Structure 1
Amino acid sequence: MDRYLSAPQLARLVGVPAGARPYYRALAEAVRALILDGRLSVRVRMPAERHLAAALGVSRTTVTAAYDRLRAQGYLDSRQGSGSWTALPGPGSLGVENPWLAADGDGLLPLHCAAPAATALLPDAVAAAATDLPCHGLGTGYDPVGLAPLRAAIAARYTARGVATRPEQILVTAGAQHAIHLVMTLLAGPGDPVVVESPTYPHALDAARTRGVRLVPAGVPDSGWHLDLLTGALRQSAARLAYLIPDFHNPTGLLMSGADRAALVAAARRYDTTLVVDESWAELALDAGPPVAPMAAHDTDGRVISIGSASKLWWGGLRIGWIRGTGALVRRLALLRASVDIAAPLLEQLVVARLFDRIEETRAERRRDFTASRDALVAALRAELPDWRFTVPAGGGFLWVRLDSPAATPLAETAAAQGVRLAAGPWFGVDGTLERYLRLPFTLPPAVVTDAVRRLAAARAAGAGPAGRPPRPPLIPTL
């Protein structure tokens, strides 16, 4: 049954003063604010223009202009002869006025964070999950290993990618970070050597440090992995654990070849090392080319632990991740996580299970939006900051940019005054190095990344600020 709003109801909600000028713009902004605040739900049928005009005491032309403005902004969806419904715009259609861009209300463009807005398929998945929920309401809702339909969907996706997987090999977690923390807690202890790439995902370093491990960095040059550096680190440190990101590596965007994956797993077998493989970005290939099989495809003795996440493909607000390992490992991890959070949220698991049914649609959506933003970011950097160097990645969500001087941290300080929050290179390093690098995401709309680069150019022209200042920690998580 369609939900609808009467003209008198909407007139009471908008509360636009009679003297507002221009009135149509004020009316459109009031309706937009109601939608963004959640006071006016999405997919509610709006009153006819003539009825709303009568309720507000204005001309129908004024209401028509307001509706036209809302349609142009993506907040109304109209079908001729059927009416208009409230909607939310796709993130790619939003510019620098995107109301979700401000971080903690400070107004800075969040270039420190490589996280996309929700997929357009999310509302449908939430509605479908809500219908599924009563079927699961007779139980306790606590399942440390995860909901059976979701585990089956994740296992089926691994199988489709070339790694035969049973649902018993999957543990559902509250995001990839939770998964990393569980694995580190179970398999690493104080003083244990753990090999990590440099640069790498900062919060994985945080998880390792909370265990008091000894981090053993292996450099990842701009040109790609040097297997002798990684295998040498495994051999020389006698590490029993290594954390790697072979799929559109965070932050470099590199994609490890199949041959290198096979060689690395063979080295891990030789040196008795378990590989923790973060695949958070694995589904986000943008350019055409043959897919690379997951690292676990080369595993014959259960030493590759794969970690995945719903946040990069579908939305960061879905705090669902997973671990793929042996059945025995999953049981051990389930016992451990029961002391932390018992189980992942049931409704979110149902939503992600539904989204897996339409994964190729989401991948196509991300390819379209991320490719447009990547191309806009590349063009803006080449026009505004031609001395900066980078390799355009075939997927993922960011560029790893080499500056013309080692000034990433002071540049980040100066850029904040220009309205941009940056992820400076040292955030991704073990020991405060990488001052010549920035990670710039292309998960934001093209207009936003283009504007951000203009501001970066202005910050660089203004001077990088005092040198030698230690990097500040991010005010909100760097993703």
Structure 2
Amino acid sequence: MTSQVRGGQLARLLGQWHALPGRRRSPDYAALAAAVRGLIADGRLPLGVRLPAERELAEALRISRTTVTAAYRELRESGHLTSRRGAGSWTTLPGGHRVASSGLWTPQDDLDMIDLGIAALAAPPELIPATRAATEDLPRYLGSAGYHPTGIIELREAIARSYADRGLPTSPEQIMVTNGTQHALDLVLRLALAPGGSVLVESPTYPNALAALAARRARIATHGLAVDAAWDADLLLASIRQSRPKLAYLIPDFQNPTGHLMPVELRERLVGAAHAAGTDLVIDESFVDLPLDGTPVPPPAATFDRHSRVITIGGLSKPYWGGLRIGWVRASAPQVQRLAAARIGVDMSSPVLDQLVAVHLLAEASTIVAARRAQLAHQRDALLAALAERLPQWRVTVPRGGVTLWVELDGPISSALARAAEEVGVRLAPGPRFGLDGTLERFLRLPFTLPAADLIEAVQRIAAVRYDLDRAGRPQWREPSVIA
């Protein structure tokens, strides 16, 4: 059933739509259409939701019905609205566009767009020889059906060795290969979390993890992270002891989006508190291979686990390439078998050829990852320098690893800035996308995964847009609405 947004609800979402950038140069209907497109772009107005009737919205906004009619017509012409006589109008995306990981629609052929919504690197040069070597290995598997629910043994052995090298003895039976880290999380949630179960997450956190939890209809509580101090150990442990969530999803290694690194003492205390509360810990290690500036990485949280309370997920997307959909779960051998049984009803197994490519990439890990770290450190420093020069009023804590900056802006302008930046060819992921309730408007995630020249150009465009927001004479910023 298609959901519907009422006139008063859409009016609250639109807020000061008449004061958006460019308003003074646009008629009322064009400004209203642009505001609705902005709500779709930043995810606050879902796709497929039915908009209020023209008369109802006109009354809610206290404008003429003619203005709403013209705005709806412009939205239909731009591909953001589909209407059918007698059935109403509902939100859509223009043809030829896709939904990026940032949740924003992206023209497939827009070569001038600098996409800062995606925190991932392009493929390393070693991918081509690894693929060629994998095709030479493939004939060994062609005589079988090709289904390996836990993954091919060569890859599980390689992943297990990587944990052992970090001081965590691991057997191949404790590894299940998945189609990326997000797939790993989805499978773990299917096994460990009943619909409506309670979950503790950090705030901010990874948006796609929130989407996976929403799909399980989870009851989510949050632990807020500070810009500087990261996790408040006492508050985090108290949250687990008092609320006793069924599951906690945490990113202790260069947290996404803040880049924070959880200290070893808190990891040990966290595992102990989880055991006492009966809470399973899902530890996302997507960025563990990417410390910068020689930062030492503490041992895995699973090092302190004696009761099979820690399930670790990871993958190749961040240190290697997102187009190679290889992730994994590390858990106890019985848990892996239960995960494999649950997987049969989802996708059977991961592609054999992709797994063989991963085996060859992991064999070159020391070379590939060292180059990635050097590349990221250079690009991070270029982005920091550009921000310091063009937007010195913004506050940034230098991350010790990972691929993103979590920037505190000079006002609650993140969503408005993202909408305006889109017009000058920069795609941003505004702060509210990393939380639950429409807050975090004072924050912006900026990945440093693009070449330095692109990052510098992006900051120049963002700075110009930020200046224009002030010149447009915006009134007081409205507190963001909480959307249930």
- The separation in 2 between residues aligned to 1:240 and 1:300, in whole angstroms, is 18
Verify: 1:117 aligned to 2:122, yes or no: yes
The corresponding residue for 1:458 is 464
Among candidates 303, 306, 314, match of residue 309 of structure 2: 303
Provide the rounded CA distance (Å) in 2 between the counterparts of 1:469 and 1:334. 46
CA distance in 1, matches of 2:251, 2:107: 27
Matched, 1:224 2:235: no
Cα distance in structure 2, aligned partners of 1:268 and 1:427: 28
CA contact (8 A) 1:103 1:109 kept: no
1:391 is the counterpart of 2:397: yes
Q: CA offset at residue 363 of structure 1?
A: 1.1
Aligned-pair distance for 1:233? 1.7
TM-score of the aligned structures, taking structure 1 as reference length: 0.76
> Cα distance, 1:468 vs. partner?
4.5
For residues 115 and 468 of structure 1, the distance between their equivalents in structure 2, rounded to whole angstroms, comes to 33
* TM-score, structure 2 normalization: 0.75
2:338 to 332, 342, 345: 332
Structure 1 residue 271: deviation in Å? Answer: 1.0
> Would the aligned equivalents of 1:162 and 1:293 in 2 still touch at CA under 8 Å?
yes
Aligned residue runs from structure 1 range 129-140, under 5 A: 129-140=134-145
Alignment counterpart, residue 149 of structure 2, candidates 144, 150, 166 = 144
Assess if the C-alpha contact under 8 Å between 1:409 and 1:469 holds in 2: no
In structure 1, what is the Cα distance between the partners aligned to 2:294 and 2:374? 12
Q: Deviations over 1:170-225 (max 9, x none)?
A: 00000000011111111112221100000000011111110111001111111211
Match for residue 319 of structure 1 among 325, 330, 335:
325
In the alignment, structure 1 residue 105 sits paired with structure 2 residue 95: no
Aligned letter for 1:331?
A: Q
Q: Is the 8 A contact 1:114 1:443 kept in 2?
A: yes
Question: In the aligned structure 1, how far is the partner of 2:480 from the partner of 2:126?
Answer: 42
Match of 1:259 in 2: 265
Residues 1:361 and 2:367 are matched in the alignment = yes
What amino acid is the match of 1:182? L
Q: CA RMSD in A?
A: 1.7
| Contact preservation (8 Å) 1:402, 1:436 | yes
8 Å contact from structure 2 (residues 383, 452) kept in 1 = yes
Structure 1 distance, partners of 2:468, 2:136, is 56
Is the aligned partner of 1:187 residue 2:192?
yes
Alignment partners' CA distance in 2, 1:406 and 1:182: 36
1:10 aligned residue: none
User: Separation in 2 of the partners of 1:191 and 1:322?
Assistant: 25
Q: How does 1:438-457 map to 2 (within 5 A)?
A: 438-457=444-463
Q: Distance in 2 between matches of 1:470 and 1:337?
A: 39
Amino acid at match of 1:381: L
Match of 2:274 in 1: 268
Contact 1:197 1:219 in 2 (8 A): yes
Q: Is the CA contact 1:410–1:469 (under 8 Å) kept in the aligned structure 2?
A: no
Structure 2 unmatched runs, 5+: 1-105
Q: Does the 8 A contact of 1:196 with 1:243 survive in 2?
A: yes
Q: Is the 8 A contact 2:246 2:280 kept in 1?
A: yes
Q: Secondary structure in 2 aligned to 1:463? A: helix
Indicate if the aligned counterparts of 1:318 and 1:348 stay in contact, CA closer than 8 A: yes
* % same residue: 49
Give the secondary structure class of the aligned counterpart of 1:141: coil
Kept after mapping to 1: 8 A contact 2:295/2:401: no
The question of 1:170 aligning with 2:175 is answered yes
Question: What letter corresponds to residue 323 of structure 1 in structure 2?
Answer: V
Partner of 2:73: none
Deviation of 1:278 (Å): 0.3
Matched residue SS, 2:396: coil
2:132 alignment counterpart? 127
- Structure 1 counterpart of 2:239, one-letter code: A
AA aligned to 1:151 is R
1:267-289 deviation per Cα after TM superposition (whole angstroms, max 9, x unaligned): 11121111000000100111113
Displacement after TM superposition at 1:291 (Å): 2.8
SS in 2 for 1:139: coil
Q: 2:443 aligns with which of 414, 437, 442?
A: 437
The Cα of 1:228 is off from its aligned counterpart by 1.8
Q: Give me the whole-angstrom Cα distance separating, in 2, the residues matched to 1:229 and 1:149.
A: 42
Q: How far does the alpha carbon of each residue in 1:328-375 deviate from its partner, in whole angstroms, 9 at most, with x for none?
A: 100000011111110001100000011110101111111111111001
How much does 1:104 deviate?
2.4
Q: How many residues align?
A: 372
The CA distance in 2 between the partners of 1:176 and 1:291, in whole Å, is 20
Q: Does 1:201 align with 2:206?
A: yes
2: CA distance between counterparts of 1:289 and 1:179? 27
Give 3-state SS (helix, strand or coil) of 1:410's partner. Answer: helix
> Which residue is equivalent to 1:280?
286
Match of 1:79 in 2: none
